[in-house]
């Protein structure tokens, strides 16, 4: 079964907790702090796997979780970093954030990787907090929790050539006759229920051809198999438009398919086409060929029989010659808006919002991370958090906003009482 859309949930590993420990040796009963830091949680990556051509795997597994980082230990032992998880996707996978719909990445290149969620930072052990004024810190940081994200994956097949045509025009027969692909073939419409790729070799030259399910009127609105598969044509460099020689009006079939393509995407309608009349083994097809040569607005109308392979080899040479004169990648011509997270380090901006009488919210990347990594059961850790609030000017911001003793201050998922 061909699946070209999937929704997955990915979660990075939690950072390990820092350790509170003091060196205790035979001749040094009151040694200094030696608590090690926690290990970083594992990341989650998407990775292009050329051996995949469908998203079927994600119908069986939708959740991917990286390993947590190990906790720090005494004697300055750092916790083990968590193992990252690599999720393989086929080339041509478009990655979207399911919540916002923003495009995060267009996965095309072989072995390309993309980090979708980063593992939590390991909490620092008490050894890190030793200073000239604090000789014996009795606190350590908690590990930062991992992050969870829901992603929507959309597959657009990457092929050099896309076969277009009405249902039962003979696309599957043609693909089977020129490649090792084994499509289902029968004399009724919609035999092909999913795009199928085949590698064609002609005169030591090769290209990839995709059999796209037949399009009908209304395809751009989702009628038949339209919207599900029109997007697979977008990445192809060249279109081979196959006309059914047994049809009552192949010229009208040609116009109808092109109308649907134009309504779906103007850029797609601009792609170069090679128009081919199939089923020349039938007398009616041979009778229609001279009239179609004059009627269709194309320079050359090629004639073949996919069943007997008449004219097929010559057509493959025409296709490969045309491809060699074209740009290598249609994907390079696409202009997609891709969301790119900032990469300049942590944002220290803090926003104060009054939610109601006696309730305030602090939001910001740094302050939320500090809050979640503070051990609120440890008084020294709480005092450190308060010092950071004062040093950053956040306490002053809250007072200017009207905070009073006893009010609730929300930071991330935490609710604190202002003292």
pLDDT in tens, 356-409: 999 999 999 899 999 999 999 999 999 999 999 999 899 999 999 999 999 999
DSSP, collapsed to helix, strand or coil, labels residue 105 as strand
* CA–CA gap between residue 187 and residue 183 (Å, rounded): 13
Say what the pLDDT of residue 229 is: 54
Q: In what order do the strands lie in the sheet with 85-89?
A: 85-89, 44-48, 113-117
Say what the pLDDT of residue 320 is: 92
> Where is average pLDDT lowest: 132-146, 169-183, 253-267, 353-367?
169-183
Residue whose pair of structure tokens reads 């923003």 in the numeric block: 102
Q: What is the pLDDT of residues 322-352, one digit of tens each?
A: 998 887 654 444 444 444 444 445 567 899 9
> Where is average pLDDT lowest: 16-30, 59-73, 285-299?
16-30
Angle formed at CA 147 by CA 143 and CA 152, multiple of 5 degrees:
165
Mean pLDDT, residues 245-262: 90
Mean pLDDT, residues 73-90: 95
Say what the pLDDT of residue 348 is: 76
> Under a CB-based contact definition with an 8 Å cutoff, are residues 54 and 4 in contact?
yes
* Percentage above 90 pLDDT, the chain: 58
Say what the pLDDT of residue 232 is: 62
Say what the pLDDT of residue 230 is: 63
* Percentage above 70 pLDDT, the chain: 84
pTM: 0.70
> Under a CB-based contact definition with an 8 Å cutoff, are residues 117 and 58 in contact?
no
Q: Output 343 or 72, whichever has higher pLDDT.
A: 72
Residue 204 buriedness (CB in 10 A; 0-12 / 13-18 / 19+): exposed
Confidence of residue 1 (pLDDT cuts 50, 70, 90): very low
Say what the pLDDT of residue 220 is: 37
Q: In what order do the strands lie in the sheet with 63-65?
A: 63-65, 5-11, 148-155, 93-97, 103-107
Say what the pLDDT of residue 205 is: 83
Q: DSSP letter string over 296-312?
A: SS-S-EEE-BTTTTBTH
Q: Output 211 or 82, whichever has higher pLDDT.
A: 82
Mean pLDDT, all residues of the chain: 84
> Under a CB-based contact definition with an 8 Å cutoff, are residues 258 and 269 in contact?
yes
Confidence of residue 175 (pLDDT cuts 50, 70, 90): confident
Say what the pLDDT of residue 226 is: 38
Q: DSSP letter string over 115-167?
A: EEEPPPPPPPPGGGG--SS-SS----PPPPPP-EEEEEEEE----SEEEE-ST
Mean pLDDT, residues 49-64: 88
Q: What is the pLDDT of residues 102-153, one digit of tens each?
A: 889 989 888 999 999 999 999 999 999 998 888 889 999 999 999 999 999 9
| Helices 379-391 and 394-401, axial angle in degrees (round to 10) | 80
Q: What is the pLDDT of residues 295-321, one digit of tens each?
A: 999 989 999 999 999 999 999 999 999
Say what the pLDDT of residue 186 is: 36
Say what the pLDDT of residue 228 is: 52
Say what the pLDDT of residue 336 is: 47
């Amino acid at each position: 079964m061909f699946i070209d859309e999937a929704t997955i949930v990915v979660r990075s590993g939690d950072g390990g907790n820092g350790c509170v420990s003091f060196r205790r040796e035979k001749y040094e009963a009151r040694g200094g702090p030696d608590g090690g830091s926690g290990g970083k949680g594992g990341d989650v990556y998407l990775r292009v796997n050329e051996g995949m051509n469908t998203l079927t795997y994600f119908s069986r597994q939708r959740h991917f979780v990286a390993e947590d980082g190990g906790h720090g230990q005494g004697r300055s032992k750092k916790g083990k970093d968590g193992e990252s998880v690599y999720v393989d996707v086929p080339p041509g996978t478009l990655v979207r954030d399911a919540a916002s719909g923003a495009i995060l990445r267009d996965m095309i290149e072989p072995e390309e990787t993309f980090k979708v969620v980063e593992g939590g930072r390991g909490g620092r052990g008490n050894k890190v907090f030793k200073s000239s004024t604090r000789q014996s810190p009795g606190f350590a940081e908690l590990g930062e929790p991992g992050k969870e994200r829901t992603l929507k994956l959309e597959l657009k097949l990457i092929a050099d050539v896309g076969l277009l045509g009405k249902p039962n025009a003979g696309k599957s027969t043609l693909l089977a006759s020129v490649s090792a692909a084994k499509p289902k073939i029968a004399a009724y419409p919609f035999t092909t229920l999913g795009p199928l790729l085949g590698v064609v070799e002609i005169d030591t030259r090769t290209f990839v051809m995709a059999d796209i399910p037949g399009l009908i009127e209304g395809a751009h609105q989702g009628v038949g198999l339209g919207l599900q598969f029109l997007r697979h044509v977008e990445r192809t460099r060249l279109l081979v438009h196959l006309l059914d020689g047994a049809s009552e009006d192949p010229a009208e079939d040609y116009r109808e398919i092109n109308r649907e393509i134009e309504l779906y995407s103007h850029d797609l309608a601009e792609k170069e086409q090679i128009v081919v009349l199939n089923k020349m083994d039938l007398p009616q097809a041979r009778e229609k060929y001279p009239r179609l040569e004059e009627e269709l607005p194309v320079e050359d109308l090629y004639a073949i029989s996919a069943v007997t392979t008449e004219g097929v080899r010559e057509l493959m040479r025409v296709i490969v010659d045309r491809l060699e004169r074209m740009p290598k990648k249609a994907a390079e011509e696409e202009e997609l808006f891709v969301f790119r997270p900032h990469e300049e380090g942590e944002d220290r901006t803090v926003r104060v919002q009054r939610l109601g009488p006696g309730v305030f919210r602090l939001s910001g990347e740094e302050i939320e991370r500090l809050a979640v990594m503070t051990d609120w059961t440890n008084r020294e850790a709480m005092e450190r958090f308060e010092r950071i609030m004062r040093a950053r000017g956040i306490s002053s911001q809250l007072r200017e906003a009207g905070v009073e003793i006893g009010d609730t201050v929300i930071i991330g998922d935490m609710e604190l009482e202002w003292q």
